[in-house]
Chain A
Amino acid sequence: MAYPEHEHAPHSFWTRYVWSQDHKVIAVQYTITAIAVGLVALVLSNLMRLQIGFPGRFAFIDANHYYQFVTMHGMIMVIYLLTALFLGGFGNYLIPLMVGARDMVFPFLNMLSYWMYLLAVVVLMGSFFVPGGPTGAGWTLYPPQAILPGTPGSGGGIVLMLVSLAIFIVAATMGGLNYVTTVLQARTRGMTLMRLPLTVWGILVATIMALLAFPALFVSAVMMLFDKLLGTSFFMPAVVSMGQALAYKGGSPILFQHLFWFFGHPEVYIVALPAFGIVSDLISTHARKNIFGYRMMVWAIVIIGVLSFVVWAHHMYVSGMNPWFGFFFATTTLVIAVPTAIKVYNWLLTLWRGDIHLTVPMLFAIGFVSTFVIGGLTGLFLGNVSTDMPLSNTYFVVAHFHMVMGVSPILAIFGGIYHWYPKVTGRMMDDTLGKLHFWVTFVGSYAIYFPMHYLGILGMPRRYYAYDNYAFIPPSAQQLNAFITVAALVVGAFQLVFLYNLARSAFNGKPSGSNPWGSASLEWQTPENPPGHGNWGPALPEVHRWPYDYSVPGAEADFLPQTSTSPLGGDDAKPDKDTP
C-alpha cells in the first residue's frame, strides 16, 4: 500500500504540536492536561485533609470551601483526570501503535476531541471564579440540594459544572468513535482480535461502555440545567427551602439517582478496565511470561463490561427506591466479583514460575494488584445490601472507592507512564527517582486508606466538615485522622518527584534504544523510536502471533515480537489445552 499520509506530515510548530492531528501528539496533550487538572484535585484533597486532621487550625477552610473542595476533587479525579487520561491519553497513544495503524481513522475528529476536552476543563476551572464559587453538591450532584441555596455554588457554580460535563461528554464521544472504529477497522494484516494486547481490549471495552453510559450523564446534566435555569420539575419535587415554598412540583430526585448511577457505576469500570489491560501487559512483559489464560482474560473484560450495566442501583440501597430492587442488585453485584476475581488469579498465575524483573513499571503493576484486591474485597461489603446498611455514606465507602478506583488506577497509570515513556520520548525515566516515587506512593496509600476503613466501621460519616462533640466518636479517632492527614500530605508532596522525573528525563534521560523492556507487542516494533508521523515508515507491519510470546521454549531470545515469523510459539501455543 502506498503511504499517502506522508505528504500531510506537518511542518510548522503550530501544526505539529498544537493543531496536530497526529494521535501521538494528541495523546500527549491529553496526558499533560489531565495531569495538570489532576494536580489541582490533589491540592484540594490535601486541603480537605488539613481540615479533617487539624480541624479549625486552618481558618480559611470554612464549611463552604470544604464542600466545594470535596466536590471538585471528586469530579476532577474521576472524570477529568482518570477517564481522560486512560482513554484520551493511553488510548490515543497506544491503539494505533498496538493494532498497527498509521493513525486514528478520523484524525480531525480526534483533534476536535482534545480541544473540546480542554474547553470542558477551562469551563470547569472557570467555576472557581464565578460569584459563589464552584458547586459544593458532592460529585454525585444530587438534586434538589445541588441547585438550592443551602449548597455552596448553587448559582453559577453548578451551571458551569453541568455545562462542562456536557462538553466533556461530547469530547469523549468524539474520541470514543475513533477508538472503537480504529480497533475494529484499522488493524494491520494478521492482527486478529484474539491477537490484540489486553491493553487494547481493556480500552476498547471501556470505550464502548463510555459511549453507552455517558448519554445517561448527559441527559441528567441537561435535565438538571432545565430545572435550574428554566424552572422545570424533572427532578425537583415541591419543596420548602429555607422557609420559602418554591415553584417546583412533582419531580423525582430518585430518577436523577438512577440516571446518574446508570452512568456512575460503568464509570468505575471505564476507569478500571484500561487499568486491567495495562497491568496485564506490564506483568507479562516484566515477568517475561505469557499472560496466563489470555482467552479467559478477554472474556472476563467483556463480561465485566456487560454486567456492570446491571448493577448500578447498589449505590442506592438506602435511597428510598423500591426495596425489592435490593435483591436483584445485590446478586448481580456479587456475581460480577467472579470475573473480577479471575483477572486477579490470572495475574498471580502469570507471576508464578515467571522470571520477575522488579523494574519500576513492574513495582507499580504489583502495587496495583495489591491495592485493587483490597478495594475489590471491601466492595463485597458494600455490594451485599444488608452489610451496606451500617457502612453506606461512611468513611468505609471513602476508603473503599479510593482503593479501588483512586489509588489502584493511578498506580496503573504511573506504571504505564514509566513503561511507555521510552516509547514516547526515546529516553528512560530515572530509576532511583521512580523507585522513591513508588515506595512513598504505595506504602503511603496504605497508610492513608487502610485505617480509614475502621473509622467507617465506627460510623464516621463521609462529607463531614467537622466531627466536634459527637459522643460516639472517641478522641482517638481525631488522632488517627491527624495521622492520615500527615500521610496524605507526604504522598501528595512526593508526586513532585514524579513530575520532576517526568520533565527532566525528557531531556536528560538515558537513551532507551528501541525496545528497552524486550517487549513482544507491536508498538515496540516501529522502525523509528519514537515513531515518526505515520508510525510505520513505508510499509505496514505484518503480525504473526499474539503479543505474549515470552520465554518460548527453543527460542533464542526470551521473547518473540509479534512481527516475528519464527515457527516457534505463536498461535499454536495459545489454544486452550490442559497443561500438566
Chain B
Amino acid sequence: MALAIVLVALVISAVLFHAFSPWWYTPLASNWALIDTTLSITLLITGAVFIAVNVFIAWCIVRFRHRDGHRAAFQPDNRRLERWLIALTGVGIAAMLTPGLFVYADLIRPPPSAAVIEAIGQQWQWRFRLPGPDGQLGSTDVRFIGPSNPFGLNPADPRGRDDILISEPEVHVQVNQPVKILLRSQDVLHDFFVQPFRTRMNMVPGMVTSFWLTPTKTGRYEILCAQLCGVGHFNMRGHVVVDDETGYRAWLGKQRVTLASFTPPPRTTSTAMAGGSPTTALVSQGQALAQSKGCVACHSPTTSAGVGPGWQGLYGKHERLAGGTMALVDEAYLREAITVPNSKLVEGFQPVMPKIDLNDQEVNALIAYIRSLSTKPAATTAQQ
C-alpha cells in the first residue's frame, strides 16, 4: 500500500518538479529550433508513458493486493492485447524517430553559403583560425607545429599564408550567417560545445571534423569542452561572440596575425625588477597572459589547488617538494617552474604542466602577477 502511495507521490513530484524547475535549456541562439521541438515531442510521449506506467502499477498494487481467500487470475497470454501494445509502441517510436531523422539530415548538410572558421583544441585551451582574403584555409599538419607555427600551418601551402590566427580563446561570428566550424585537435579528444547552439562535435587528433549552424541571436556565449581531455578538462574555457554585421567587421579588422607576422615577439632583456615592487602594467599583462596561455585551466588565483597549486599566497611561501625537501618560492623558483615545467615537483601534484612558449618579458609579467597575488609581497615567513 505504502508503495502505491509513494509511486503516485513520485509521479506528482516529478510533474511538479518539471513545472517549477528553473533548470531548463538556455535560450536558443541558433537555427536549430527543430532540435528543441523534437525534444519536446519526445518529452511529451515519454512523460505520458512514465506517468501511465507508475500509476498503473500503483493501481494494481491497491486493487490486486493480497487478501485472504483471494486468488490471482490464471491468464498465460493474450495475443490480441499484445499485438495492440506493440502497434501502439511502434507508432510512438515512429513519432519520435521521424522528426529526429529529418533534423539530422539537415544537421549533416551545411549550406554551401556557410562561412568557414576553424577551432583548434589543445590541452586545455582554444585557438581559432579564419580564412584570409582568399576565403580559403590552408592545409595543416601536426608535424609543422612549432614555436613559430603553433597552428601547424603547411608553410608550402599558399592558401594558408593569409589565414588569420587567433591565439586567444575567443572568436566572433556574424549573426544570421551560416557558419561551418571545422574542428582540429593537436593532442587528445576535445568537444566544441556551446549549449545555446544545441549542436556540437568532437575534435579528434589526426582528422578534421565539423558541424554547422546559423547563429540567430547576438551575444557572448561560453564554449565548453565536453569530451574528457585530461585533468584540466573542466577548465577548458572559451567564448564565441555573435556580432551583428558592423560589429563583426570591426572585430575582423583588428585581427591581423598571420603565419608571417606570428614570429614570437622579440626577446627583451630581463627588466630591472629585482627588488622593486612590480608595476601594475606588468601585473595586468601577466594576468592577461595567464588567461590567454591557459594557465588558469590548472592554477586558480586563489589558495585552492586545482590541477596545479593555487597562486594566492604562493610567493614567499615554503613549498614542500616531492621527495620531502622544502623550497622557498621566490623569483628564481617561479622562473624555473614556468620555463622548465616539472623540473621540481610540489608534493601531491602530477608532472603534467606543459611547456608554454613565453619570452623573458612575458615570464616576468607572469611572475609579477603571481607575486601580486600574495598579500605581503616581501614576506618570507614560512606558511604551510
Contacts and interface: CB of A to CB of B under 8 A. Distances in A.
B248 to A, nearest CB: 21
Contacts of A470: 222, 224, 237
A311 interface: no
A335 interface: yes
Contact of B79 (A323, A552, A576): A576
Given A341-B89, A458-B23, A467 B234 contact: yes
A355 B70 contact: yes
Contact of A251 (B100, B206, B225): B206
Given A242-B355, A477-B23, A390 B187 contact: no
B3 A320 contact: no
B189 A390 contact: no
Interface string A353-373: 111111000010010011001
Contact of A290 (B76, B199, B226): B76
9 closest A-B pairs by beta carbon, nearest first, are A237-B206, A459-B195, A150-B230, A242-B354, A377-B46, A320-B209, A289-B72, A145-B188, A384-B100
A378 interface: yes
Contacts of B73: 289, 353-354, 551
B228 A137 contact: yes
A387 interface: yes
A573 interface: yes
Contacts of B353: 242
B14 interface: yes
B351 interface: yes
30 contacts: A64-B231, A67-B233, A137-B228, A149-B352, A242-B123, A254-B207, A288-B71, A296-B77, A318-B202, A319-B204, A330-B100, A330-B101, A335-B93, A351-B57, A351-B64, A353-B64, A357-B66, A369-B53, A386-B100, A386-B103, A387-B39, A389-B107, A389-B200, A451-B17, A454-B21, A457-B23, A458-B25, A548-B76, A574-B76, A578-B80
B373 interface: no
A354 B60 contact: yes
Given A296-B82, A384-B97, A476-B23, 20 more contacts: A62-B306, A63-B234, A144-B189, A145-B229, A150-B188, A152-B231, A152-B350, A253-B189, A253-B206, A327-B104, A341-B89, A345-B82, A377-B49, A381-B46, A390-B199, A457-B23, A463-B228, A477-B23, A548-B76, A578-B80
A238 interface: yes
Interface in A201-239: 237-239
B319 to A, nearest CB: 15
A480 interface: yes
Interface in A446-484: 446, 450-451, 454-455, 457-459, 461, 463-467, 470-472, 474, 476-477, 480
B61 interface: yes
A287 interface: yes
A360 to B, nearest CB: 11
Contacts of B71: 288, 355, 551, 558
Contacts of A323: 107-108
Contacts of A243: 354-357
A338 B93 CA distance: 8
Interface string B115-142: 0000000111000000000000000011
Given A323-B108, A378-B46, A459-B25, A573 B61 contact: no
Contacts of B349: 64
Contacts of A465: 233-234, 306
A457 B90 contact: no
A241 B352 CA distance: 10
B155 interface: no
B232 A63 contact: yes
Interface centre among A250, A293, A442 (most CB of B within 10 A): A293
Interface residues of B, number: 119
B348 interface: yes
A151 B202 contact: no
A385 interface: yes
Contacts of A574: 76-77
Contacts of A338: 86, 89-90, 93
Interface in A239-263: 239-245, 250-254
Interface string B54-75: 1011001100111000111111
A370 B11 CA distance: 10
A149 B222 contact: no
Interface in B26-62: 26, 32, 34-35, 38-39, 42-43, 45-46, 49-50, 53-54, 56-57, 60-61
A356 B65 CA distance: 5
Given A373-B49, A378-B46, A390 B25 contact: yes
A168 interface: no
Contacts of B7: 370
Contacts of B107: 323, 386, 389
Nearest to B18: A454
B113 interface: no
A532 interface: no
A348 B53 contact: yes
A381 B45 CA distance: 11
Interface in A312-331: 318-320, 323-324, 326-327, 330-331
